[in-house]
């Protein structure tokens, strides 16, 4: 069972990135899949959580509108599209998955911190 996050890089303010979270050894379609990020000197925070069970995606309030999650079940991959990047988006982005496919409901921001499977993070750096 493995998760691999990729797609990070150095971009200018206003740019876009698409991060990928590829799974091997299990099907993401039956799991909650989350994106979290950790900015320098700050705690890890939930960005989003999605699953087919809930039929949608939870987003952190401050990230609604610029962050979009999508899935490609054929590639067993979940994507995080980030548009209009800001310097405060700088950090390490992680993807995580859990067989409890509801994202924990309204307490998803707590749920995602304890997910079972984690990928190594991918660094996103936004220059001003």
Q: What is the pLDDT of residues 57-97, one digit of tens each?
A: 999 999 999 999 999 999 999 999 999 999 999 999 999 99
Q: Which two tokens stand for residue 84?
A: 């209009």
Separation CA 99–CA 116 (nearest Å): 8
C-alpha to C-alpha distances, 110 to 2, 36, 70, 114, nearest whole angstrom: 22, 11, 22, 7
- Looking at beta carbons, which pairs linking 40-45 to residues 24 or more positions away fall under 8 Å? 40/90, 40/91, 42/91, 44/94, 44/113, 45/109
- Chain mean pLDDT for the chain: 95
Residue 61, SS3 per DSSP: helix
With CA atoms as reference, report the closest residue to 49 among 72, 65, 66, 67: 67
pLDDT band (50, 70, 90) for residue 51: confident
């Amino acid at each position: 069972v493995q998760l691999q996050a990729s797609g990070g890089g150095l971009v200018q303010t206003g740019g876009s990135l698409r991060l990928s979270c590829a799974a091997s050894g299990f099907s993401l379609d039956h799991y909650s899949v989350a994106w979290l990020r950790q900015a320098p000197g700050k705690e890890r925070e939930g960005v989003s959580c999605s699953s087919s069970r809930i039929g949608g995606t939870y987003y952190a309030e401050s990230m609604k509108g610029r962050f979009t999650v999508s899935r490609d079940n054929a590639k067993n991959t979940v994507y995080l599209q980030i548009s209009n990047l800001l310097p405060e988006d700088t950090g390490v982005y992680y993807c995580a998955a859990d067989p409890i496919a509801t994202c924990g409901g309204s307490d998803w921001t707590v749920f995602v911190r304890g997910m079972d499977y984690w990928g190594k993070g991918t660094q996103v750096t936004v220059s001003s």
